């Protein structure tokens, strides 16, 4: 079975991304070098940050071309995460809002990758 298990984001500084994501995820990376940082998430998914200056072949995409999405249980959990990220001085791109799929907000990491927190509408 073909089952992707790693998301790679190209970043300016893997060390700066490691500091940022350690605050979000709540634990340090399992690997960190000058050109790469790797987190292993509780789900088993791995999240890697590769220096956009050293990735081969050269990456053409920049931050903002996609999203990392974090599902939470309900509106209160969205608001709690929003409040927490504001306390961490994380840039908020979209304030909490009700959209057609659910309640959500969007933040940005240091490389402008979008981080969406959402609670789906009840079916």
Residue 83 sits in the same domain as residue 110? yes
42 conformational bin, left if phi > 0, alpha if psi -120 to 50, beta if neither: alpha
What strand order describes the sheet that includes 67-71? 67-71, 114-120, 102-108, 91-98
Residue 71 sits in the same domain as residue 116? yes
Residue 36 sits in the same domain as residue 74? no
Let me know if residue 58 belongs to a domain.
no
Give me the pLDDT at residue 62, please: 74
Q: If the chain, 123 residues long, is cut into consecutive pieces of 10 residues, what is the mean pLDDT of each piece? A: 88 96 96 97 95 90 84 97 96 97 97 96 81
Let me know if residue 61 belongs to a domain.
no
Would you state the structure tokens that stand for residue 71, as one six-digit string?
């599902």
CATH number at residue 76: 3.10.180.10
Residues spanned by the domain of 108: 67-120
Give me the pLDDT at residue 122, please: 82
Residue 41 sits in the same domain as residue 80? no
The domain tally of the chain equals: 2
CATH number at residue 43: 3.30.720.120
Give me the pLDDT at residue 61, please: 74
Residue 39 sits in the same domain as residue 80? no
Let me know if residue 59 belongs to a domain.
no
Let me know if residue 28 belongs to a domain.
yes
What strand order describes the sheet that includes 31-32? 6-11, 46-51, 36-40, 31-32
Residue 79 sits in the same domain as residue 47? no
8-state DSSP, 11: E
Residue 103 sits in the same domain as residue 79? yes
């Amino acid at each position: 079975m073909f089952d992707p298990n790693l998301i790679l984001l190209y970043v300016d500084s893997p060390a700066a991304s490691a500091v940022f994501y350690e605050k979000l995820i709540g634990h340090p990376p399992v690997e960190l070098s000058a050109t790469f940082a790797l987190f292993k998430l509780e789900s088993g998914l791995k999240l890697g940050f590769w220096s956009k200056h050293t990735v081969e072949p050269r990456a053409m995409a920049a931050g903002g071309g996609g999203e990392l999405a974090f599902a939470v249980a309900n509106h209160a959990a969205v608001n709690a995460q929003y409040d927490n990220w504001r306390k961490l001085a994380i840039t908020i791109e979209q304030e909490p809002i009700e959209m057609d799929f659910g309640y959500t907000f969007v933040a940005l990491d240091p490389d402008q990758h979008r981080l969406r927190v959402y609670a789906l509408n009840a079916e």
